[in-house]
Structure 1
Amino acid sequence: MNISTLLLGDPSPSLRWRAARELEGASGEDADIRSWRTEIDQSAEIGALLTQLAAAETRPYLAGYLLCQLAYLGYRGPATAAAVEKIFSRQQPDGSWSTPPAGLGPIEGARFVTMHTVVPLRGIAAAGFATDPRAEHAYEWLLNVRLPDGSWPAGPKADLGKDGRPTQREREYRRLTRGLGCRSATTGVVACLTLHPQRRRSDVARVGVDHLLARETRDAATLGWEVSRLVGFEPPTGQVTFYTTFDLVFLLDLASRCGVSPQDRRVHDLVDYLQTLRGPYGLWQHPTHPQLSGWLTLDLETSLRRLDDGHWIGNQEPANFTPYRRGRRRY
């Protein structure tokens, strides 16, 4: 059975609309497309997110991810532009959003700053404002805090030692396999870059993706973790650890947007592995939420199609990866 046919029969108007546009190339003038657009804007799901967005006008971190969720579900209403302006109103002069989220309390040091800029910026870019001069200012801030190897630390790089390495290494559970920086922060920055029409194919984005692809583990239990958060089945939590879950579906999404070729060995092996997990009807089953199989399949199908336009190949050899050591249980 054709995968698009299965997705077009899903109860979610958001999934039907996106499948028709992204997999079938349907025009915005199509009668079904117009009908589904109306359903999306009037859905209880979108209404709940808009209510949360209105209440988060003084919290750029929370508002940023709500914008990501709304964009993922296909919302295109005027509330996004108003929310983006609220986020910009709290931007620091240097281009960042460096203050702690409301309710978090004071934080000693500056180890949280990178992610506090990443999440609002990703929401702004997802809403379609990536090229706004204020957003470009935030992108430049991220480039300025990049480490010498092209990865990103959990916080600013002001604590670099004489050899260009951070004097305090990133925690082992979120450390890059072949990099100085933080995997969570690097994933977040790359996610921002992939939503920019020019920066997505830049050398900066490619180096960031190269760092992420260096970890070649096959964690089936976390497939579609980002999808489950965007659709609302899992809460978007964490500060430094916001993107610490290693999600192969999200990794393929980022790699495909950055122009990686399907002939890249790491991407080729990753695709081969994901293909072994397809169900009998061509759908992928979400490991935790079976009702998300349609969303997971849409994400993977669009990523696989984007790979056809990829043109660059990394040349890194496989890296040995040892899971971080767990401490002894006290009880």
Structure 2
Amino acid sequence: MNTLLLGDPSPSLQWRAAVELEGIAHDDDDVQASCAEIRESAAIRSLLARLEAARNRPTAAGYLLCQLAYLGYRGPELSMAVEAMFAHQQSDGSWPAQAPSPSQSRPEPAVVWLDDDSDQPARKGQPLADGPRFVTMQTVVPLRGIAAAGFAADPGAERAYEWLLRERLPDGSWPAGPKADLGGPGRPSPPEKDYRRLPRGAGCRSATTGVVACFALHPERRRSDAARIGVDHLLARETRDESTLGWEVSRLVGLERAMGQITFYVTFDPAFLLDLASRCGVSAADRRVRDLVTWLETVRGPYGLWEHHAHPQLSRWLTFDLECSLRRLADGDWIGNEEPAGFTSSKRGNRRY
């Protein structure tokens, strides 16, 4: 199976398979040749151009950093983009919905859409990230990009992690964040929408997934109680949908658009869940992880590859991603004790007739 990955036309997949699955040294001639091809590839050049254009948009720049890191690029442009993103970070460690330009002392009033579910824009000039008027994803996406680029332990990134810990709900999950026209001092936050509510938690599945993805890339926090409790909430949903398998990989490789704000991570991707669980130290002996791995083996193709239902050309990337997750599970030492949770995607209204 590794031979198929090493023979893929993508130099990024060749390099990552050689280093991460075969254990070939970075100074190997073939590995160095793949690195050179990565730097000159059209996909990387395109992403770097978009990254330069997104210097004043931390959310857009954050996911572009995720894509570049996933494709194996480690050039100086990444550190430059991270510095530009830190210039827009607020003193509490979060990022605002709209970052000001370097020449502005405060954000320019603008209409900003806070929630995919909302049909009303926020009022002009509101301090969107102050008090309860935040949206968790405004900080999650930039922080994940910074961590993916290798700067998770930077002081600015650490402030963002601390902000996320302060916004955590008592049960260890994370809220999506109130809409601009709701919440406030003395007013409760609105409940999460049914389609993105956690089976056992009060928080938002999309927000909790994004936060765990940030913690999973930190060298120390990835095995913290906060990260593992977050994964525990995500593992409580035990649905198996082959049509969403590899959704996050398809976005990282560029075959699907990264869209949404509160719904950025709303698609339930079993491959992404296994990736997060393996990075946060969950053991293969955990019942939910064991059941997930058993199901994955039933959908593996005859040549050892996992086929992607919508993009056949993504099958080798998906296989590589899953193989890396399966190998990391061997180092896991944490087992959750949650019982199976019933799940309903959304409530059904009463029939009229």
Q: The TM-score by the shorter chain falls in which range?
A: over 0.9
Q: 1:100, CA displacement in angstroms? A: 3.6
Cα pair 2:57 2:98 within 8 Å, conserved: no
In structure 2, what residue type is equivalent to 1:271?
V
**Match among 116, 121, 139 for residue 138 of structure 2:** 116
Q: Kindly state the Cα deviation for residue 113 of structure 1 after the two structures are TM-superposed.
A: 1.9
Count of aligned positions: 324
CA contact (8 A) 1:95 1:137 kept: yes
1:78 corresponds to: 76
Greater mean alpha carbon deviation, residues 89-98 or residues 106-115: 106-115
Q: Which amino acid aligns with 1:267?
A: V
Deviates more, 1:315-324 or 1:43-52: 315-324
Q: In the alignment, what sits opposite 1:125? A: 147
Aligned residue for 1:113, secondary structure, equals coil
Deviation at 1:322, TM superposition (A): 1.4
- Can you give the 5+ residue segments of structure 2 that lack an aligned partner in the other structure? 100-109, 114-120
Q: Indicate how the Cα distance of structure 1 residues 169 and 161 shifts in structure 2: closer, same or farther if over 3 A, else same.
A: farther
SS at match of 1:270: helix
8 Å contact from structure 1 (residues 225, 245) kept in 2: yes
Instruction: Tell me the amino acid that sits aligned with residue 137 of structure 2.
Output: M
1:243-258 → structure 2 map (5 Å cutoff): 243-258=265-280
Partner Cα distance (2:13, 2:30) in 1: 13
User: Would you say 1:266 and 2:264 are equivalent positions?
Assistant: no
CA positional deviation for 1:155: 1.1
Instruction: Report the AA paired with residue 86 of structure 1.
Output: A
Kindly state the Cα deviation for residue 98 of structure 1 after the two structures are TM-superposed. Answer: 2.2
Give how far 1:107 is off.
Answer: 2.6
- Written as runs of structure 1 = structure 2, the 5 A alignment for 1:246-325 is 246-325=268-347
CA distance in 2 between counterparts of 1:51 and 1:216 reads 40
Question: What is the aligned partner in structure 2 of residue 35 from structure 1?
Answer: 33
What amino acid is aligned across from residue 301 of structure 2 in structure 1? G
Question: Which residue matches 1:242?
Answer: 264
Q: Which amino acid aligns with 2:15?
A: W
- With over 3 angstroms needed to count, the CA separation of the structure-2 counterparts of 1:204 and 1:77, relative to structure 1, is same
Determine the structure 2 residue equivalent to 1:216: 238
Per-residue displacement from partner, 1:2-31 (whole Å, max 9, x unpaired)? x11110000000000000011001101100
CA distance in 2, matches of 1:112, 1:221: 32
2:136 alignment partner, SS class? helix
Q: Partner of 2:217 in structure 1?
A: 195
Partner of 1:98: 96
Instruction: For residue 287 of structure 1, report the CA deviation from its aligned partner.
Output: 1.2
Cα separation, partners in 2 of 1:167 and 1:64, compared to 1, 3 Å: closer
TM (norm. structure 1) is 0.94
1:266-293 deviations in Å (ceiling 9; x for gaps): 0000000001011011000011100000
Cα deviation, residue 166, structure 1: 5.6
Aligned partner of 2:122 in structure 1 is 107
Q: Considering only aligned residues, what root-mean-square deviation do their CA atoms show, in Å?
A: 2.1
What do residues 162-193 of structure 1 show as CA deviations (whole Å, max 9, x unaligned)?
Answer: 9xx96421000000000000000000000000
Pick closer, same or farther for the CA change 1:262–1:60 going to 2, 3 Å: same
TM-score by length of 2: 0.88
Distance 2:19 2:209 in 1: 27
Q: Name the CA distance, whole Å, in 2 between partners of 1:257 and 1:88.
A: 25
Deviates more, 1:208-217 or 1:93-102: 93-102
| Structure-2 change in CA distance of 1:245 and 1:270 (3 Å) | same
Residue-by-residue CA offset, 1:293-328 (whole Å, 9 max, x unaligned): 010000000000000000111000000111213679
Q: Following superposition, which runs of at least 4 residues in structure 1 exceed 4 angstroms of deviation? A: 101-106, 108-112, 156-162
Identity of aligned residues (%): 69
Counterpart AA for 1:44: A
Structure 1: how far apart are the matches of 2:111 and 2:190?
A: 27
Amino acid aligned to 2:79: A
Following superposition, the deviation at residue 156 of structure 1 comes to 6.3
Gaps of 5+ in 1: none
- Structure 1 counterpart of 2:54, one-letter code: A
